[in-house]
A = this chain, B = another copy of it.
Amino acid sequence: MTGKIYFTVGPTELYPEVKSFYKSAFEKKIFSISHRSIEFEEIFKTTVRNLKKLLNIPKDYYVFFYSSATECMERIIQNLVREKSFHYVNGFFAQRFYEISLKYKKSPEKVCSSFGEGTKFENISIPNTTELICIILNETSTGVALNIEDVKKLKQKYPDILIALDLVSAIPYYKIDYKYIDCSFFSVQKGFGMPPGLGVLILNEKCIKKAENLYNDGISIGSYNNFLKWKENYLKNQTTVTPNIPAIFVLGKICETLIRYGNEKIREETNNKAKLIYDYFENHNFIKPFVKNRYFRSKTTISLETNIDSEKIIKELARQGLIISNGYKIFKGKQIRIGNFPMHKTKDVKTLIQKFSLFNSNNKFGII
């Protein structure tokens, strides 16, 4: 066994139970069953039921399984946009969503904030031709989290425009009132502490209706994985193609584990660990929170800017068995990012923080 702990922003440390879920699946030969079998339908049903229970998703919402959050973005654009998607862009993942719309020859619009900043949407007006508003709740690339209440107010202001909310790296921590959100999605290698390879899309009937409209008007909404094909299969507790059965099975088990553990306990612990981290770095000499406005600081993916070459910090910590993330793209070398997900234990967070005193008290790692 490696003694490493992954404090990365995802893929990250697995829930300790994941290994035993795989073990039992191998014993029961679950990975050999047909995705059209009754056994698989039972797994599908259980996973959807547990996920809805954990996240408090309305019963009449659909849950579609894709291969990544990026595939979710693509299917959303294909199925919900005739021409005009509107994107709030304050990081690389929001930018990706915007570009997917462009690549499908739609005419997206965007409003941008500087990376590291957020918005309460008060001064953002949405063009009235907009069909879909696309928002990233927790920008993993910058460590900015928007406030879900602000997103809710925006939806209340524009009740007739569909809203798509990226929840990657946000849930299960952030409490979402799904009835205000037409569609949302996440991937399992962040707060769900699983190996990567599954994206989950949660959507309401309005999204299906929109896809139907586009389809009836002769617009391509994709093929085997479009919303209409998926709805048809969802109602049979089946997927559209042979899916990542291990991931669907394990997700159901993880949700069960988290339900038992308790949502409120997860939130309280995440808050406490985030406070430990932010408080510490407020007073660090060379490493500081990147997001200045506390209101927009992510509790789950914490970005820190540093004038020590971040690669050196990462290497030194790795030598001690603690793995953290580098800054994203243009922030590489200038930032570090720490994942603070439910599987990260308080005592390990404390250990991690202590290690940073090494970079506080001297400059042998080279201030740049």
Q: How far is the CA of A103 from the CA of B247 in the complex (A)?
A: 28
Chain B residue numbers with a CB within 8 Å of A187 are 242
Chain B residue numbers with a CB within 8 Å of A6 are 29, 32-33
Tell me, rounded to whole Å, the shortest Cβ–Cβ distance linking A82 to chain B: 14
* CB <8 Å contact, B103 and A222: yes
Q: How far is the CA of A222 from the CA of B73 in the complex (A)?
A: 12
A274 within 8 A of B: no
* CB <8 Å contact, A31 and B244: no
Do A35 and B22 form a contact, CB below 8 Å, given A29-B4, A96-B224, A223-B100? no
Do A8 and B34 form a contact, CB below 8 Å, given A224-B74, A246-B246? yes
A172 within 8 A of B: no
A345 within 8 A of B: no
Tell me, rounded to whole Å, the shortest Cβ–Cβ distance linking A245 to chain B: 5
Extra 14 A-B pairs, beta carbons < 8 Å, given A71-B225, A103-B223: A2-B27, A8-B34, A11-B31, A11-B242, A14-B26, A18-B31, A22-B22, A31-B194, A32-B323, A34-B325, A100-B223, A103-B222, A197-B197, A197-B244
**A residues bordering B, Cβ < 8 Å?**
1-2, 4, 6, 8, 10-14, 18-19, 22, 26-29, 31-35, 66-71, 74, 77, 96, 99-100, 103-105, 187, 189, 194-197, 218, 220-226, 240-247, 323, 325
A–B pairs, 13, beta carbons within 8 Å:
A18-B26, A22-B26, A34-B325, A67-B197, A67-B244, A69-B242, A74-B223, A189-B242, A196-B242, A196-B244, A197-B243, A197-B245, A244-B247
